[in-house]
Amino acid sequence: MVRYGFVIDLTRCISCYSCVAACTIENLDPSLWDDSDKRRIRLRGGEDGVYPPRIEIGEYPNVMRIVLPMPCFHCENPPCVKVCPVGATYKRDDGVVIVEQEKCIGCGYCIVACPYGSRFRNHTTGTVDKCNLCIHRIEAGEEPACVETCVGGALHLVDFDNPNDKYIREAFRRRAFKVECELGTQPAVYYIPSR
Amino acid sequence: MMVYHVPWGIEVAIFLWFAAMAGMGEVIIALIDKHDIKKSVLKHYSGFILIFSILALIFILSDLPLFIGALPRIISAFLEGRFNLASWMSIGMILLSLEILIASIDVIKYRRLSKWISLIASKESFRIISIVIGGLVTLYSGFLLSVSSIPIWTISPLPILWIFSGALAAIALLDILLWLSGEENPIYFTLRLKFSFGIIVGIIIFMALHISASSRSMSAKESAHMLLYGDLGALFWIGFSLLGLILPTIVDGIQIFSGKSVKEMSLVSSLLYILGALMLRILIIYAGVPYWKFMVI
C-alpha cells in the first residue's frame, strides 16, 4: 500500500513560482492561466509580490517570515470530503484527495470547508478544482509537474507508508512541521524549516 | 472597500434571507392558523412564503455555475447511493424541497383550490410538520455556514441569530399585510412581537460580535474588526444597526408605550426590519475571513 504526500524543504525553496507555473500549464485550461486566484498550488505568504512574506514561523527571538508552497494537503481527515453533497470528492486508498469533475455540481461547499484555501471554482468546467497530485503522471511513472520542475529541489513526492523513504527520514531528522489547524485535519505535507 | 475573497457572495446572502423568511413564515402561519386572523391576509401570506421558498431555491442554484445542469448530477448521486445525507448542503436541498411542498399545500388551502388538500392541511399533524420543517429550514441556513473554515461563520450564536432575525422579518411581513388588509389595531400582536424580537436580535448580535472579537482565531478577530470599525463598519452601524434594527425598534417602542399604533410608522418599521435582515446576512457573508489568511505556524 502507498500513501502519497509531500515533503517540502524550505531551505531549498527560492520562491521562484516555477512549481505554480508548471502545475498551471500541466493541469489548467489556458483561459485560466492569467487568473492568479485559480491555482492548484500556491505560494502562501507571498501573494501579490508582497515582501517580506506574511507567514511567521518560530518564537521570539528566532522568528522569521517565510513563503510556503502550498499544494492540497491531502489530509488524513479531510473536511472537504465530509461536506460534499454528491460524493464527488473523496480520498483514494493511496491518500490522494480528488474531485471527480463529471460528478461535481460546483456548489463550492468544499471550498468553504477547506481551511487551507486549496480549492477553487474552475469556471471553464463549472466545477471545483484542486491539486490531485498529478495522479495521471504518477500512474504513468512520472513525478508531479511541480516536483519535476522545482528549481531548488525543494518539493519531494513521498510515500508515508515507506519508512525507508530518504525524504521522510530527512524530514523527521530536521524536525519538519505540518500546518495543522484546530480541525484536526492531519495534512500529508511536511515542511522542513528554513533553519 | 477591502473585503477578503470568500467563495460565497451576495447570492448566498439573499438565499439565506429568503430561506429564513420562508422557514419562519411557515412556522408563523402554522401558529396563527387557528387564531382570529383574516383569511385574506393568510391567503397572501402563504403566497409570499411559497414565493420566498422558490426564490431561496433559485438563489442557491444560481450559486452553482452549472445551474440546471447540476440537477442530473444530483439525481445520479441519489440513484448511485452517493448522496451524502451528512452534508448540510444535501440536508438543505431536502428541507427546501419539503418547504416548497408544504408552502404549496398552504397556498392551495387558503385559496381553496382543492377540497381534499385543504382537508389534509387542516389537520393538527400538518401544522406540527409545518412548524418543524419551517424551523429546520431556518436553522439549517445557520448550520450550512457552521462547517466552513471561515471562523465568523462558525460562531455558535449564528443559527440562533438566523432564527430570531428570520422570525422578526417574517412577523414584519405579516404586520405589513395586516395593516394593508385594514385589520384594526394589531398592536397587541405583531407590534409587541416585533419589538421583543428586535431587542433579542440586538442582544444576539452583541454576543456574536463579542465572541468573534475575543476569539483566539485571528480571522474571527479580523471579521469582528471589519464589522465594528473596518471597511464594513459604515454598512454595519448605519445600514444594519441604525436603520435595520435600532430605528424600527424605537418606532415600535414609542407605539407600544404610548398605547397608540400608527399605520405609517408601523409599515416603515416593518420594512426596515425586513431590509435589516437582508443587510445582516450580507454583512456576515462579506465579513468572512478564511482561516488560511492568518495562518500561524
The 3-class secondary structure across B201-242, one letter per residue, is HHHHHHHHHHHHHCCCCHHHHHHHHHHHHCCCHHHHHHHHHH
Q: Pick the more confident residue, A67 or A112.
A: A112
Q: Is A47 on the interface with B (CB under 8 A)?
A: no
Cα separation of B17 and B283, whole Å? 12
Cβ distance B64 to A115 less than 8 Å, yes or no, reads: no
pLDDT at residue B134 in the model: 95
User: pLDDT at residue A172 above 80?
Assistant: yes
Of B64, B153, B295, the CB nearest to A55: B295
Q: Distance between CA atoms of B6 and A120, rounded to whole angstroms?
A: 10
Taking a C-beta distance cutoff of 8 angstroms, is the pair B88, A107 a contact? no
Domains and CATH numbers, chain B: 10-294 (1.20.1630.10)
Q: CB-based contact (8 Å) between A105 and chain B? A: yes
Q: What is the pLDDT of residue B1?
A: 47
The amino acid that residue B212 corresponds to is S
Whole-number Å distance between alpha carbons of B24 and B11:
20
Residue with cell string 411542498:
B101
Q: Collect contacts of B8-13 with beta carbons under 8 A, ≥24 apart.
A: B8/A108, B8/A112, B8/B63, B8/B285, B8/B288, B9/B63, B9/B285, B9/B286, B10/B282, B10/B285, B11/B59, B11/B60, B11/B62, B11/B63, B12/B59, B12/B60, B12/B63, B12/B285, B13/B278, B13/B281, B13/B282, B13/B284, B13/B285, B13/B286
For residue A45, what is the domain's CATH number? Answer: 3.30.70.20
CB-based contact B63 A86, cutoff 8 Å: no
Report the percentage of chain A scoring pLDDT > 90: 49
Contact flag A103-B5 (C-beta cutoff 8 Å)? no
For the sheet containing A189-192, what is the strand order? A155-159, A4-9, A189-192
The pLDDT assigned to B187 comes to 55
Nearest-Cα distance to chain A for B293, in Å, is 9
Tell me the average pLDDT of chain A.
Answer: 87
Q: By CA distance, what is A115's nearest residue in B?
A: B149
pLDDT digit string, tens, across residues A117-170: 889 888 888 899 999 999 999 999 999 999 999 999 999 999 999 888 999 998
Cell numbers for B176, please give them.
405589513
CB contact under 8 A, A55 and B69: no
pLDDT for B186 equals 54
A102 φ, ψ (degrees, to nearest 5): -80, -10
CA A87 to chain B, closest CA, distance in angstroms equals 5
How many angstroms separate the Cα of B152 from the Cα of each of A82, B142, B155, B278? 20, 12, 6, 17
- Positions of chain B with pLDDT under 70: 1-6, 65-67, 183-188, 295-297
Who has greater pLDDT, A149 or A67? A149
pLDDT band at A193 (very low <50, low <70, confident <90, very high): confident
* Chain B interface includes A127 (CB < 8 A): yes
Residue A92 has pLDDT above 80, yes or no: yes
Residue A117 near residue A185, CB atoms below 8 Å: no
DSSP A140: T
Which range is least confidently modeled, A8-12, A87-91, B178-182? Answer: B178-182
Query: Nearest by CB to A114, which of B84, B88, B149?
Result: B149
CB contact under 8 A, B73 and A105: yes
Closest-CA residue to B102 (of B135, B76, B78) = B135
pLDDT digits 0-9 by tens, A33-55: 887 778 888 887 766 555 556 67
Q: Give residue A35's domain range.
A: 4-192
Q: What is the ipTM of this complex?
A: 0.83
B222 contacts in chain A (CB < 8 Å): none
Number of independent structural domains in chain A: 1
Residue A139 confidence (pLDDT): 92
